[in-house]
Amino acid sequence: MRFRYLGRTGLKVAPIVLGTFNFGWLVEPKDAFAIMDRALEEGVTVFDTADSYGKWTGGRGHSGWSEEIIGQWFTLGGGRRESVVLATKVYEATDEPTEWVNAERGVSAYKIKRHIEGSLRRLGTDHVELYQLHHHEDHAPWEELLGALEDLVTAGKVVYLGSSNFGARHLCWARTAAERRGGLGFVSEQHRYSLACRLPELEVLPTCQELGIGLIAWSPLASGLLGGHALNRAGGERSAEAGGALDQAGRERLTAYHQLCADLGETPANVALAWTLANPAVTGPIIGPRTADQVSQSVRAAEIELDAATLMRLDEIFPGPGGAGPGAYAW
């Protein structure tokens, strides 16, 4: 695969990111090991997790299970840890019983300093390459959050800082605060972005591009809607992205999309991934495979180049907001 730089940094990364959200509660450890082995074989370098991954609300598992599985895989050696750009996150609620109220959703200097230690212990490593705030925190001042995060960089426990689910204004505020402190600030932003969710094109994507922040797209298949099976699911067609049944317009849109993909000779999933990669603001989409073979299928997307006519047709099927703001909504 052709490597890209992560934002404005000198770090080179593969254009496909391995997401480990499913590890533990949906993917057994042995299968997760096979997925990670295959990812390395295919040239995927960034593995993304979070201290909350491994437990689904009302389901099986426990928070941190995903990190534990990755850490167990590292112990197998063979250069596994050295080959991975490791990314994790902090913000969500965890199973930590001793934190009481601070185990709930939110982030503070207290939580950052405490949770990085838990993540490093579970991952079996002394540092992570990318440490991300999983969500923005409206209450805590930037001086508190950036101060705690920069301390981790100084201590060698973190190399780069990133964000996730931030608005354009949050990215700008964070950059301004980081520059005042003489720091690099956030170099990446994880954001929900797909053919079926193009609102980030209004503000977030142009902001990332202008500030040199690498955008990592999560849910690039719109929770499976663009994966190729949405029209064939048992019990009727459903839009996982919308959480309800597809209406007639939705069925027609997917039918047209599937026909276009067939004409291209590519799978709907890979066309959706390739489309995100065609945007210059995007560093790479996150894939969430449940099998090793799905990893191999997904990396094909990095080799697909969509021509102008195809991109125009995709715009017709899945209309965007009309470009960047304010041009898209003002004179």
Are 110 and 68 in contact, with CB atoms under 8 Å apart?
Answer: no
The active-site residue, picked from 53, 91, 160, 193, is 53
Please, are residues 272 and 286 in contact by the beta-carbon 8 Å criterion? Answer: no
Q: What is the largest CA-CA distance in the chain?
A: 59
Residue pair 215/205 in contact (Cβ under 8 Å)? The answer is yes
Query: Could you confirm whether 193 is annotated as catalytic?
Result: no
Exposure string of 139-168, with b = 16+ CB inside 10 Å and e = fewer, is: ebebebbbebbbebbeeebbbbbbbbbbbb
Buried b (16+ CB within 10 A) or exposed e, 105-126: ebbbbebbbbbbebbbebbebe
Residue 149: closest CA among 173, 176, 196, 181: 181
325, 205 in Cβ contact below 8 A? no
Sign of CA dihedral 330, 215, 111, 36: positive
Q: Would you name the residues annotated as active-site residues?
A: 53
